[in-house]
Amino acid sequence: GENVEQHPSTLSVQEGDSAVIKCTYSDSASNYFPWYKQELGKRPQLIIDIRSNVGEKKDQRIAVTLNKTAKHFSLHITETQPEDSAVYFCAASTGYNKLIFGAGTRLAVHP
Amino acid sequence: DVKVTQSSRYLVKRTGEKVFLECVQDMDHENMFWYRQDPGLGLRLIYFSYDVKMKEKGDIPEGYSVSREKKERFSLILESASTNQTSMYLCASSLGTLTGGYTFGSGTRLTVV
């Protein structure tokens, strides 16, 4: 079945720096790649997603890139702010629209 | 504005008890999912359903079963709770095309003693 690996597990940056989180997937048939943000004690929330027919997508300070050949995709956050501190999960879809998630990255943005 | 509701936020159960976790969505979504979330392991899929009375095993179905008698409700059942089932359980729903991704419930933190 599908396997999604996510790195790093923890990431610490200074406010205003950029943050990059990387994921690789195993099933070449996967065609949908969302990213979720989970703040402490809250439910995961979708922040951006990309489909396999697109190489890059941006939404203000957040961007996602996809390399289908290498089977990896990345989340880029620019001009980080303390409110970006959270756990971020990548995921990939495979069959019946189910999502397989990575293990998560705990991002800390220090003022 | 809550769209996916899980019946309990916190539960404490004894080993061997039968446990029911309930999830209700009001968005007319076809797909519903149960995940468990453990530190360092991310979200692991237990079971999912893409239609009423339909169910499919996820990656870690052992010790669990599910029921979907109505489109809006998806129940997770622990037949005989064990301490290794202590975890955060998240319910989610989505459209069949995954447009808009998942909508998650607030989660149920289950402790089995």
Which of the residues B4, B6, B98 would you substitute to probe the A interface, choosing the one with the greatest number of A C-beta atoms within 10 Å? B98
Q: Which residues in chain B have Cβ-Cβ distances shorter than 8 Å to A103?
A: 40-42
Closest Cα in chain A to B90? A43
For A2-12, the pLDDT digits (tens) are 899 999 999 99
pLDDT, tens digit (0-9, with 9 covering 90-100), for A41-88: 999 999 999 988 889 999 999 999 999 999 999 999 999 999 999 999
Q: How far apart are CA B50 and CA A55, in angstroms?
A: 29
CA atoms of B77 and B14, how far apart (whole Å): 14
Q: Which residues of A22-58 are buried (b: 16+ CB within 10 A; e: fewer)?
A: bbbbebeebebbbbbbbeeeebbeebbbbebeeeeee
DSSP secondary structure code for residue B100 in this structure? T
Q: What is the pLDDT of residue B71?
A: 95
In terms of residues, how long is chain A? 111
Residues of B with CB under 8 A from a CB of A: 31, 33, 35, 40-45, 48, 50, 56, 58-59, 90, 94, 96-98, 100-102, 104-107
- Reported as type and span, the H/E element at residue B69 is strand B64-70
Q: Which amino acid is present at B3?
A: K
Is the pLDDT reported for residue A100 higher than 80?
A: yes
* End-to-end Cα separation, chain A, in angstroms: 41
How would you write the pLDDT of chain B (113 residues) with one tens digit per residue? 669 999 899 999 999 999 999 999 999 999 999 999 998 899 999 999 998 989 999 999 999 999 999 999 999 999 999 999 999 999 999 987 766 689 999 999 999 99
Buried b (16+ CB within 10 A) or exposed e, B50-86: beeeebeebeeeeebebbbeebbebbbebeebeeebb
Q: How far apart are CA A106 and CA A19, in angstroms?
A: 11
Three-state SS at B32: strand
Q: Which residues pair with B6 in a beta bridge?
A: B23
End-to-end CA distance of chain B: 34
CB–CB of B106 and A44 under 8 A?
no
SS3 call for B84: helix
